[in-house]
A and B are shown apart, each in its own frame.
Chain A
């Protein structure tokens, strides 16, 4: 066991394999089902939001992905390698942290990074100054981490991840506890890393963060995926609501309620609100015209991620989508 060695990654790793592929992932703690048959598909270059309320199973899923805990059922592969079978080799090209990044409080930031670089091998140690610069911790690198603020530890966590030159970055609530400026900087860094073609799996319950950064999302609730797919698909399908103002709102209300494919019709002081896809909105506008009701304004209002999130996680509806042009039905509940 002692002695430097080269791994045989070529035999087990696959540069082209999906960065994260989870199938039927289950984690049960006695009577508690923390993760319930989760499937994840994170593709190359994705900034993938893993979204859900606290306790939904996000962190447990990430722990399984990193091989920290053993799935009760199912598998997860990182670039085609299962951490349960391949151990540390499955984490080649993968970096990040689960929950808050943890360091040795009695060591300086630089010593902590030196230690982690030693555990990474390769030329990680030569990048310590570089990553400290990236997270702007160089002036405090000689200070013990025990005296660091939460935000500084989060930044050091990013620095520690970058030491590995990751191709997949797994970040669990990276902006939690940061002040507004820290959150802005963290998002800017993540965006920059994504621009460098690093695949990012970002767990968060901060909807603006996900909306700003992610192109694909999985929304989990009570351990189950209630939506997985492109964020744009989710917003287009789940949130196609319109505001309608006509010459006769009473008559328009009757027509809209009678129109198939038009749902959640309600009246407000500003007109009518309704939900429908483009096809059915077109049919409604023709019906209104045929009935002699003039349309003053028909304004589409894309739902915010927050609207969709609450709709999905509070069980009032399901917006189904999938990775690709064809939406895939994902059970809600």
Chain B
């Protein structure tokens, strides 16, 4: 080190006229960090493997009775029924699990490793770091949803063809329209998932412990499922976050039933917005001494 220490790059700039990085730049690096971590691919891998297992299983057992759901009855008639069934199957636990893996970890991991203080002593404000991390966690959640949908759609179409499907209301829609509805249904499902991401980020920020935050986030989902089953509490069911995981089904009716979507939008806002505000204020005010 001494041999080259003779020329440290220290040409000074005045304090004025320095340009600080944008939140977009911080967000891009959050995505790169996610892309560089093995953990990121656990959730994505699960979202790829599960639809494939489902399609293989259904191909082998194509005589199985699926009378409980209209899309299940037409599973072998159109490959476009597969992503709908997969969303139905995965929306309650597996997709929230994947979202929790990242949202619960995204702040706590850096806090525990001491890298939070590394980035907070650069030229970015805590608000920028928080915004970038929240956006990255949401981006990841959206990625797992659409990767899962894409894999299910491709595998389903390869197995059973690109044909029209019958919706929940009994109307037949063409294959292209069904494809559009599959995309829209997954997009609408992101509303409650983003609310869950907000809760994950809050727990990640508040607990400073990745495991606690991930388990806490997914534990909340399980708890709300249990609450929904308790007799006498039917009145609060429409306001449970987990009930919103099925909001997308309104899109698969003709005419489109917007009421569950609108309802879930404000219910999810009641969960997600306070969680994110609390997480932001926690990060803003808290001492960063970890690592």
Residue A193 at the chain B interface, CB threshold 8 Å: yes
Pick the most buried of A102, A120, A182: most chain B CB atoms within 10 A of its CB: A102
A186 to B131, CA, bound (A): 37
Residues of chain B within 8 A (CB-CB) of A116 are 118-119, 122
Residues of chain B within 8 A (CB-CB) of A69 are 287-289
Least CB distance, B183 to chain A, in whole angstroms:
25
Q: Are B117 and A6 in contact (CB under 8 A)?
A: no
The 8 nearest A-B residue pairs measured at CB: A102-B114, A13-B15, A69-B287, A185-B1, A119-B122, A10-B16, A189-B5, A188-B2
List 9 A-B residue pairs with CB atoms under 8 Å apart, sorted by A's residue number: A2-B22, A4-B21, A5-B22, A102-B114, A107-B33, A118-B25, A121-B20, A155-B1, A160-B118
Q: Are A2 and B21 in contact (CB under 8 A)?
A: no
Residues of chain A within 8 A (CB-CB) of B122 are 88, 91, 116, 119-120, 164
Q: Are A102 and B9 in contact (CB under 8 A)?
A: no
Least CB distance, A57 to chain B, in whole angstroms:
13
- A136-B1, A189-B5 are known contacts; what are 18 more A-B pairs with Cβ within 8 Å? A5-B19, A7-B18, A9-B17, A9-B18, A13-B15, A68-B117, A70-B285, A87-B126, A96-B121, A106-B37, A111-B36, A116-B122, A118-B21, A119-B25, A162-B9, A165-B12, A189-B1, A192-B6
Q: Are B22 and A3 in contact (CB under 8 A)?
A: yes
Q: Are B1 and A119 in contact (CB under 8 A)?
A: no
A267 to B210, CA, bound (A): 64
Residues of chain A within 8 A (CB-CB) of B128 are 1, 88
Residue A319 at the chain B interface, CB threshold 8 Å: no
Q: Are B36 and A107 in contact (CB under 8 A)?
A: yes
Residue A310 at the chain B interface, CB threshold 8 Å: no
Contact pattern, A 95-127, Cβ under 8 Å of B = 1, otherwise 0: 111111111111100010001101111100001
Main secondary structure of the interface of B (DSSP, over half): loop
Residues of chain A within 8 A (CB-CB) of B12 are 93, 165, 167, 197
Residue B179 at the chain A interface, CB threshold 8 Å: no
Residue of A nearest to B117 (CB): A68
Pick the most buried of A70, A106, A115, A197: most chain B CB atoms within 10 A of its CB: A115
Residue A242 at the chain B interface, CB threshold 8 Å: no
Beyond A102-B291, A134-B4, A162-B8, is A10–B23 a contact (Cβ under 8 Å)? Answer: no
**Contact residues, A57-79 vs B (CB, 8 A):** 63, 66-70, 79
Residues of chain A within 8 A (CB-CB) of B7 are 134
Give B contacts to A, CB under 8 Å: 1-26, 28-29, 32-33, 36-38, 113-115, 117-128, 131, 285, 287-289, 291
Pick the most buried of B4, B114, B121, B124: most chain A CB atoms within 10 A of its CB: B121
Q: Are A98 and B117 in contact (CB under 8 A)?
A: yes
Q: Are A136 and B4 in contact (CB under 8 A)?
A: yes
Least CB distance, B9 to chain A, in whole angstroms:
5
Beyond A15-B14, A102-B114, A165-B13, is A88–B6 a contact (Cβ under 8 Å)? Answer: no
Residues of chain A within 8 A (CB-CB) of B38 are 106
A89 to B37, CA, bound (A): 31
Q: Are A185 and B117 in contact (CB under 8 A)?
A: no
Beyond A2-B22, A136-B1, is A66–B17 a contact (Cβ under 8 Å)? Answer: no
Beyond A69-B288, A162-B9, A189-B2, is A2–B24 a contact (Cβ under 8 Å)? Answer: yes
Q: Are B19 and A121 in contact (CB under 8 A)?
A: yes
Residues of chain A within 8 A (CB-CB) of B19 are 4-7, 121-122
Least CB distance, B44 to chain A, in whole angstroms:
16
Q: Are B289 and A63 in contact (CB under 8 A)?
A: yes
Least CB distance, B128 to chain A, in whole angstroms:
7
Residue A31 at the chain B interface, CB threshold 8 Å: no
Residue A130 at the chain B interface, CB threshold 8 Å: yes
Beyond A135-B1, A188-B2, A189-B1, is A67–B22 a contact (Cβ under 8 Å)? Answer: no
Least CB distance, B139 to chain A, in whole angstroms:
14
A320 to B4, CA, bound (A): 39
A155 to B128, CA, bound (A): 28
Residue A133 at the chain B interface, CB threshold 8 Å: yes
Q: Are B9 and A131 in contact (CB under 8 A)?
A: yes
Residues of chain A within 8 A (CB-CB) of B28 are 118
A55 to B63, CA, bound (A): 72
Q: Which of B113, B120, B127 contacts A68 (CB 8 A)?
A: B120
A196 to B11, CA, bound (A): 8
Q: Are B127 and A1 in contact (CB under 8 A)?
A: yes
Residue A230 at the chain B interface, CB threshold 8 Å: no
Pick the most buried of A96, A104, A189, A196: most chain B CB atoms within 10 A of its CB: A104
Residue of B nearest to A81 (CB): B15
Least CB distance, A329 to chain B, in whole angstroms:
33
Residue of B nearest to A63 (CB): B289
Beyond A102-B115, A119-B21, A165-B13, is A91–B5 a contact (Cβ under 8 Å)? Answer: no
Q: Are A70 and B287 in contact (CB under 8 A)?
A: yes
